[in-house]
Amino acid sequence: MADLYDLLQRPSLDDPLMIVTLEGWVDAGLGAAAALAALLGTVATDVVANFDVDSLLDHRARRPVVRIVDGVNTGLMWPEIQLRSGRTSEGRDILFLVGPEPDHQWRAFCTAVAELAGAFGVQLVVGLGAFPAPVPHTRQTRLVATATSAELAHRVGFIPGTIDVPAGVQAGLERRFAELGIPAVGLWARVPHYAAAMPYPEASVVLLEGLAALTGVHADATELRAAAQSTRTRLDELVANSEEHATLVRQLETAVDAEIERPLGSSLPSGDELAAELERFLREENP
């Protein structure tokens, strides 16, 4: 599937990690986007491959930006899907798959990415995301996983039972990696459903903590932690002004506190409940 990308260089990488964060899919509270920004602020990267956005994107939905100077069209800034490489200060090689989620040719795109992962000897793929959930902002944000194996899912925690929800391309990538024997895990932060449409920095902090626990890769989250505290304070003030909202938060606190007393893999809200919340969020994001 090399026709879908232009390989610009072949860096020598030592058992690299691949991190996948594609814009446009479920990213409640911009949790993954801000986590990626923190990572890229820590690791200098170079472009390894550019994907063919004319084949993969609908430019009417993701329009390029035209720059006009004194009435003169001086150029277009096109959206980009890229594979970038970098090395942490500890010497860990990382490949970042970044850019908008493709609109077209998902199967071919997943195959192309998996081919690149295999060619560079990727040992683990980690996707980052966040979804709206029936949880309160007054309790610590928790992660759940989707993965290519039960062992990986158990290391993070998971939603028990069977869930059918609309898929993002990250799900297709996980399946393709599984077929090639490349371990892959998606880290998903649970964001309070009533805060899903606003920046929710705590989701980013927890995603970075989960990534560090799983891979040893760290990023500076100082600014995100401060922003998370400010967001918490603002939400506290809003809830305090509404008895209806305060009642909702208390109910969510009771449910989440009951979860904490039991193992994560068997204590989350039901798959049906989370699926319904996710589908509602997607309808609101894509009317």
Cβ atoms 51, 5 nearer than 8 A: yes
Q: What is the pTM of this model?
A: 0.87
What are 23's two structure tokens? 């814009």
Q: Are 150 and 42 in contact (CB under 8 A)?
A: no
Mean pLDDT of 240-249: 82
Contact between 44 and 94 (Cβ < 8 Å): no
For the chain, list the domains and their CATH numbers: 2-285 (3.40.50.10900)
pLDDT value for 25 = 73
To 5 degrees, how large is the angle CA 260–CA 266–CA 272? 105
104-146 pLDDT, tens digit per residue, is: 999 999 999 999 999 999 999 999 999 998 888 988 899 999 9
Quote the pLDDT of residue 30.
95
SS3 of 226, please? helix
**In sequence order, what E strands does 143-271 have?**
143-147, 184-192
Residue 257 dihedral angles phi and psi, to the nearest 5° = -60, -35
